[in-house]
């Protein structure tokens, strides 16, 4: 079956007792057993739930994975991956990642003895040079958040195999529709299903997908032992959202490209970052590695942080909000929102300045979205003209 068909059907057969076409929400915390040890595959809802099982099967199929695990958030999924490691282990991580990932790694897991090196993974040689005897994992985010750099997954995964390190890819920005890291050599894929997979800004969730049976067994153990699992209603919402993922991603990509080109022509903008633009540093890699270029666009204003704050406060269709990947468009100021936990000097050293804005381009009419941005820019310019 093709991707769009699997998104609707895998793990989602008609419910056998009633024939319900849509997987039910099995809202239960426990399961009645016929005798001691005699159950129907489920004992306790932290360990397993039929609604969750259906979602895990569907997401595994979409990532071409044998195994899938779902979690209460993307951060819970990332933390569970870290539970594969022990004190003293070293992780090489992309230097431009979601601020929550930076916070989790640097401010939480370093306290438990894990070590992190932050490198520019757009050059695989930087990864190879950062390898230590105790390096156990390579953590890729591509496209990165918020600077939309693209990492060569196959090249980094080859380094991981050579040095017996697990290669993990946070595939949230691309979604399984645009990019399938396991096919490129990665060992584990992580998602915040809150974003494109859920797609409607009404649920928080996470997922881990893998073909590595040994890793899966350990991850499954920690999923149950630590307990950061999603409730059945959350799983149902994610499953409902994923049914339209293919259609939505096509619309996100088309709108983002149109808006990125419009931003390039705006005299108030000093740079536009979008992998679909031919001047993007990794444009050719993105063309090879991804089915489309995604719905995220970042741009920097010539007026710096003051101008960025004003523009972000003037849009109407672009809601000023954290998160991304929903059908509605969002605008965010990474320096003070998603990446506020990262020290300013580190943000700016990586090119994440106060003048940078990040767009999560939704599936509204692109002309309306451009009109919204145009009006916000005009409002800021008019205020500047009168000294406001």
Q: What is the domain partition of the chain in residue ranges?
A: 3-242, 247-385
Look up 98 and say whether it is catalytic.
yes
Model confidence pTM above 0.85: yes
Which entry of 31, 46, 220, 287 is annotated as an active-site residue? 46
Which entry of 98, 177, 216, 274 is annotated as an active-site residue? 98
- DSSP category for residue 184: G
Query: 247, 257, 282: which is closest to 143 by C-alpha?
Result: 282
User: What token pair was written down for 42?
Assistant: 């489920």
Which entry of 6, 136, 195, 291 is annotated as an active-site residue? 195
Fold exhibited by the domain 247-385: 3.90.1150
User: What token pair was written down for 282?
Assistant: 């990794």
Mean pLDDT of all residues in 87-95? 97
Mean pLDDT of the chain: 95
What's the full length of the chain, in residues? 388
Q: Compare 119 and 341 and report the one with higher pLDDT.
A: 119
207 pLDDT above the threshold of 80: yes
CATH number belonging to domain 3-242: 3.40.640.10
Q: What is the pLDDT of residue 388?
A: 45
pLDDT digits (tens, 9 = 90+) for 130-177: 999 999 999 999 999 999 999 999 999 999 999 999 999 999 999 999
Look up 170 and say whether it is catalytic.
yes
272 pLDDT above the threshold of 90: yes
Do residues 293 and 284 make contact, with C-beta atoms less than 8 angstroms apart? no
Q: Which residues contact 207 (CB under 8 A, 6 or more apart)?
A: 56, 59, 68, 69, 70, 71, 77, 190, 191, 193, 197
Do residues 256 and 250 make contact, with C-beta atoms less than 8 angstroms apart? no
Which entry of 89, 170, 187, 372 is annotated as an active-site residue? 170
């Amino acid at each position: 079956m093709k991707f769009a068909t699997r998104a609707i059907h895998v793990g989602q057969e008609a419910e056998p007792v009633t024939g319900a076409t849509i997987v039910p929400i099995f809202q239960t915390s426990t399961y009645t057993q016929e005798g001691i040890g005699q159950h129907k595959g489920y004992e306790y809802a932290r360990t397993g739930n039929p609604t969750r099982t259906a979602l895990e099967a569907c997401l595994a199929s979409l990532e071409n994975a044998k195994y899938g695990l779902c979690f209460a958030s993307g951060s819970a999924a990332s933390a569970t991956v870290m539970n594969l490691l022990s004190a003293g282990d070293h992780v090489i991580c992309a230097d431009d990642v979601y601020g929550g990932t930076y916070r989790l790694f640097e401010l939480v897991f370093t306290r438990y003895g894990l070590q992190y090196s932050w490198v520019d993974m757009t050059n695989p040689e930087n990864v190879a040079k950062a390898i230590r005897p105790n390096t156990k994992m390579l953590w890729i985010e591509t496209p990165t958040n918020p600077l939309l750099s693209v990492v060569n997954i196959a090249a980094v995964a080859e380094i991981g195999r050579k040095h017996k390190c697990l290669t993990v890819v946070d595939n949230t920005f691309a979604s399984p529709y645009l990019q399938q890291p396991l096919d490129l050599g990665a060992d584990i894929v992580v998602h915040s299903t809150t974003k494109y997979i859920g797609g409607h800004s009404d649920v928080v969730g996470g997922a881990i997908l893998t073909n590595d049976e040994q890793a899966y067994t350990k991850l499954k153990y920690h999923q149950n032992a630590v307990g950061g699992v999603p409730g059945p209603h959350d799983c149902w919402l994610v499953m409902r959202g994923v049914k339209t993922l293919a259609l939505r991603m096509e619309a996100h990509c088309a709108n983002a490209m149109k808006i990125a080109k419009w931003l390039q022509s705006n005299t108030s903008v000093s740079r536009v970052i979008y992998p679909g633009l031919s001047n993007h540093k990794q444009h050719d890699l993105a063309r090879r590695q991804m089915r489309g270029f995604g719905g995220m666009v970042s741009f920097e204003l010539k007026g710096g942080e003051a101008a960025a704050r004003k523009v972000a406060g003037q849009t109407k269709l672009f809601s000023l909000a954290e998160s991304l990947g929903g059908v509605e468009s969002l605008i965010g100021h990474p320096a003070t929102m998603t990446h506020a936990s990262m020290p300013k000097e580190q943000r700016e050293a990586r090119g994440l300045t106060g003048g940078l804005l990040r767009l999560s381009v939704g599936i509204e009419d692109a002309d309306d979205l451009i009109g919204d941005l145009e009006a916000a820019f005009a409002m800021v310019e008019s205020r500047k003209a009168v000294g406001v």
